[in-house]
Structure 1
């Protein structure tokens, strides 16, 4: 146009399938990809399609079925979103339930904001907000805070609070935050472009815009405000629909952020009275079904989200349950409900007797109790479950009347949220998590603490110091299951370049007694080390090659018997090899203790057992 090259690029297009891509000279995707130009509409003198990729062995082809150009007057108009689908109330109720589930401290967070002015950026995390400042203090210092700000989710939580408590101040605050964001970042050009238009945050913002608009009518708002919201909602829906924005900030198409885009597009299709709404519903349904086929691993009665994180599995479970409810407005899709059932079944299986779960991948960890926990867990799981494709092993048993759970991990279907944790173990017994996954700190992965928590030195697994570790998919596997007297499970991986690491775990389910063989196969000059990352509050006492473990919350005792002299590490030293900390909540961690032993490859045998003669 006007002799200037302008482009719209779709990074993650469908392969071997037809798809549509559309762009207008003033729509969000075109403006976003062309640095928010200030241009006048005009004729397009030349339209070209470029394809960039690597052909397969048989070559490659890009087919174009049709192309068209037209002159229009902006976006398709949207009538007020307070009208729309006859089952609109069900959609809004489903969205509200979903948001309540996402934030367990929602009411406390909003009360603190209304009373003290501290802006809630995460569950239980607040930023002070000076009266003279346009943004909360410290917002720009942390990428997650920036994403949360632009998602407008705190405003959505204020609206939920307002509905529950008939609180006009909460509704007024939410509306003001939303409209000020539109003025600054939608009608204006926000300097924080990455997070103002981040794929995940944009999807969440559309849900907030829909909830905001649903609470406005001619009796409580002016026409201009309603028109601005209507315009922004439709523009956001077109952006989320666009293949050029799908998972736009990710390395690949199949990613949990795309699920949030489809969920928001479903909500818009069900709530907005627009000629485009049926297409939004269809597009979201097709894409979400495709995402599930790639990112959910079904094994028996279980369905597992493959992005390596227990926390994200729980979040995706809630998302799929909501998507199934939204889709029920237009179609009965039994496959989506079946997926939700399978995801819920795995959430109930991968859980300790005290309702906690391992904190693998990017998952926040719930701490051990500081006082004596309840002495009996009659509803505890029992048995042995191994999912060889998903890469999980779960062993439940009882010792001296107290439940224990051993988890064995070799997840290798995705690199997203993956830590260097192949063949790691966690152990829960008598109310305490003795061996832990060190959890999560923040998404600033290159910072020292996150890098350590994600790295091989932080997990209860063999590692080779100084050897590169890969989290690419397909490098780990798990096999085994119940045996005559308990269980036998073997896992192996090739994440350390040039080496095969194998771990075999054997034991019984009627007593906590486990033997383990670790093998390093390969021409390694690296020292092999196994580290046991102990839970918060666990005390280690060394006697020769034995380490006795105790915790103030239980009379239980454990014994580790090792093939070489153990070494203890405690707290953060700045060096991953000599450090031991666990994440607790966002950007917070506590000191822990790690026991390690080293040996010259190839094989090391060690054991762990209950050392309690009697539990009281």
Structure 2
């Protein structure tokens, strides 16, 4: 069957060329010197390249289900799709989900088959992998002639496909199934992938998709010097990557796509490129220094359990899974080795002013762990940005008390996705009943960290934004290491508005809101508790839990899944209003007197033992 498909594909390519159907961008069929193509691979005892899926204990089972039962498994978020081999035409979308289609056209199933072949050396797997590749080639010969979905020749899917096709070639070239005719067709198709990815019009500037393209084009250029443009492609990939290093990451090492998960993902991309470049003697300026700073940020970002918070389009990432051989930052090495290697960071609280991030921790070695993080930044318009400016998360001991929404999925029509990106899924301030526009590039630069400080007993940050037209919202936070957090939310406007102070409470928390000015929160998983106290009079109080009208009180920690949580809303109305709110966790703030002295904001804070603390900000 593979031979028949191969022959029909060659005829199709020839007819398309003769008819002038192929654009001049995609050259006529080339008869490559197959021995030359293979010879380069034989120069190395071991090659270094990325794999979209690593071989695991499940690889053979996934591949067997594909070979024997026609079950295409892509990711755990979807059931396996049973396809009809005689009718597969690459228009399939069984779950009405673009993300599934993206992975389908990335040929993720081929990667699983290659995992199984790598583990077992059973040719049934590589034969099936070849069948899928030939089928895809037949229905998607070039960007101007494909199966009709934008993912056939999309920026990201094409880059992923290059990675998987490289994996296939490494094992196919020495396999008993090697066929020179198919190898030639395969190389022509791979060359078209390089032509497509090298063109500026197909490149994703300023977002992580472009880095996937850089990695793929670099890998293609180095491992396939048989292609005429390989040296040019290498130069293009390095040049573009340098732009990402300089423009997509702040000077302090924080990725700008507004997501903790995407910071981790992009850092991983940079690390894999660095590993590849070092193996083949390629020099890329600033790559390792950027990785070092991005790893340093993770040390401060991490919670006590070694995970990162859900900020922006994120899922919880466990830093303990990072391969130590990839770590170049001594503080991250100390963290993930549990102090066996590396060096302990001197100060694990910090404010990244250029990134709009404040991270405060008490001394976890001597006190129950308190983790506080505030985010206030709008670097770029990206699908991963959410309306989370001035939002915070707080974890006490093992319990996530105040949580962020997660991402749910990427279907912007889905009501849960709309909620996850809205202001109402974050611990911040809403004006009226609307979110602000995160698709408006005019809002870039309207967020600011105005003041901050870190001492041995407390830390503070004042941040603001003007995302809502005609409204300035400022949030001052004072974090006491002994166990209290004070919020001063000031809203200024020339017009009357309804303002909502929003708190999203984690799913492992019991809520007693019988006294709405003094809400008691207790953990279901440890012995901790805290109080959420309003120091000023509130005009109205709302509570939602798993509500669908309106859609409120949901969190997504797993792709395509939502879990009900509780959202507490405190409301005020007017032109210029202020919320003063306290979270007491062991230490109890009973009163705060705030005033200005010669342009400086002064806070005199009184605790339940009559002790006072005067803090000047600004």
- 1:281 equivalent to 2:238? Answer no
* Contact 1:443–1:450 (CA under 8 A) maintained in structure 2: yes
Query: Hey, what does 2:374 align to over in structure 1?
Result: 408
Query: Hey, what does 2:170 align to over in structure 1?
Result: 214
Return closer, same or farther for 1:522/1:136 CA change in 2, 3 Å cut-off: same
Cα distance between partner residues in 1 of 2:434 and 2:423? 10
TM-score, scaled relative to structure 1 = 0.79
Deviates more, 1:432-441 or 1:222-231: 222-231
Query: Hey, what does 2:304 align to over in structure 1?
Result: 353
RMSD: 3.3
SS, match of residue 569 in structure 1: strand
Match for residue 571 of structure 2 among 586, 598, 605: 598
| 1:507 CA drift (Å) | 1.9
- 1:338 equivalent to 2:289? Answer yes
How far does the alpha carbon of each residue in 1:12-69 deviate from its partner, in whole angstroms, 9 at most, with x for none?
xxxxxxxxxxxxxxxxxxxxxxxx9987449x9xxxxxxxxxxxxxxxxxxxxxxxx9
* Contact 1:82–1:216 (CA under 8 A) maintained in structure 2: no
Match for residue 495 of structure 1 among 447, 462, 467: 467
Return closer, same or farther for 1:75/1:609 CA change in 2, 3 Å cut-off: farther
How far does the alpha carbon of each residue in 1:513-561 deviate from its partner, in whole angstroms, 9 at most, with x for none?
1000001111242211111111122221114211111222111111100
Query: Hey, what does 1:239 align to over in structure 2?
Result: 196
- 1:575 equivalent to 2:550? Answer yes
Ranges in structure 1 where 5+ consecutive residues have no aligned partner: 1-35, 45-68, 248-252, 368-376
Query: Hey, what does 2:421 align to over in structure 1?
Result: 454
Correspondences of 1:177-196 after superposition (within 5 Å): 177-186=132-141, 189-196=145-152
| 1:411 CA drift (Å) | 2.0
Return closer, same or farther for 1:431/1:136 CA change in 2, 3 Å cut-off: farther
SS, match of residue 104 in structure 2: helix
* Contact 1:78–1:231 (CA under 8 A) maintained in structure 2: no
Cα distance between partner residues in 2 of 1:434 and 1:282? 49
How far does the alpha carbon of each residue in 1:485-519 deviate from its partner, in whole angstroms, 9 at most, with x for none?
2101011011111111110000222x221000001
Query: Hey, what does 1:8 align to over in structure 2?
Result: none
Cα distance between partner residues in 1 of 2:25 and 2:169? 31
- 1:321 equivalent to 2:295? Answer no
* Contact 2:300–2:348 (CA under 8 A) maintained in structure 1: no
Correspondences of 1:200-211 after superposition (within 5 Å): 200-211=156-167
Return closer, same or farther for 1:305/1:161 CA change in 2, 3 Å cut-off: farther
Cα distance between partner residues in 1 of 2:371 and 2:499? 27
| 1:180 CA drift (Å) | 1.6
Correspondences of 1:70-149 after superposition (within 5 Å): 74=29, 77=32, 79=34, 81-84=37-40, 92-96=47-51, 99-100=53-54, 113=66, 117-123=70-76, 125-131=78-84, 134=88, 138-139=93-94, 141-149=96-104
- 1:307 equivalent to 2:257? Answer yes
Query: Hey, what does 1:549 align to over in structure 2?
Result: 521
* Contact 1:127–1:138 (CA under 8 A) maintained in structure 2: no
Query: Hey, what does 2:218 align to over in structure 1?
Result: 266
TM-score, scaled relative to structure 2 = 0.78
* Contact 1:507–1:514 (CA under 8 A) maintained in structure 2: yes
Return closer, same or farther for 1:398/1:485 CA change in 2, 3 Å cut-off: closer
Deviates more, 1:483-492 or 1:500-509: 483-492
* Contact 2:472–2:493 (CA under 8 A) maintained in structure 1: yes
Query: Hey, what does 2:557 align to over in structure 1?
Result: 584
| 1:349 CA drift (Å) | 2.4
> How many residues are matched?
530
Cα distance between partner residues in 2 of 1:332 and 1:260? 18
* Contact 2:402–2:504 (CA under 8 A) maintained in structure 1: yes
* Contact 1:430–1:554 (CA under 8 A) maintained in structure 2: yes
How far does the alpha carbon of each residue in 1:267-289 deviate from its partner, in whole angstroms, 9 at most, with x for none?
00111032321111111001111
Using CA pairs under 8 Å that are at least 6 residues apart, name the structure with larger relative contact order, 1 or 2.
1
| 1:568 CA drift (Å) | 1.8
Match for residue 481 of structure 1 among 449, 453, 469: 453
- 1:607 equivalent to 2:582? Answer yes
- 1:397 equivalent to 2:355? Answer no
| 1:127 CA drift (Å) | 2.8
Cα distance between partner residues in 2 of 1:227 and 1:483? 66
Return closer, same or farther for 1:39/1:521 CA change in 2, 3 Å cut-off: farther
Return closer, same or farther for 1:73/1:201 CA change in 2, 3 Å cut-off: closer
Deviates more, 1:402-411 or 1:185-194: 185-194
SS, match of residue 558 in structure 1: strand
Cα distance between partner residues in 2 of 1:338 and 1:403? 31
Cα distance between partner residues in 1 of 2:59 and 2:268? 17
Return closer, same or farther for 1:162/1:603 CA change in 2, 3 Å cut-off: same
Return closer, same or farther for 1:434/1:40 CA change in 2, 3 Å cut-off: same
- 1:388 equivalent to 2:361? Answer no
Query: Hey, what does 1:530 align to over in structure 2?
Result: 501
SS, match of residue 83 in structure 1: helix
SS, match of residue 323 in structure 1: helix
Ranges in structure 2 where 5+ consecutive residues have no aligned partner: 1-14, 319-336, 589-618
Return closer, same or farther for 1:206/1:72 CA change in 2, 3 Å cut-off: closer
* Contact 2:155–2:213 (CA under 8 A) maintained in structure 1: yes
* Contact 2:459–2:478 (CA under 8 A) maintained in structure 1: yes
Query: Hey, what does 1:296 align to over in structure 2?
Result: 249
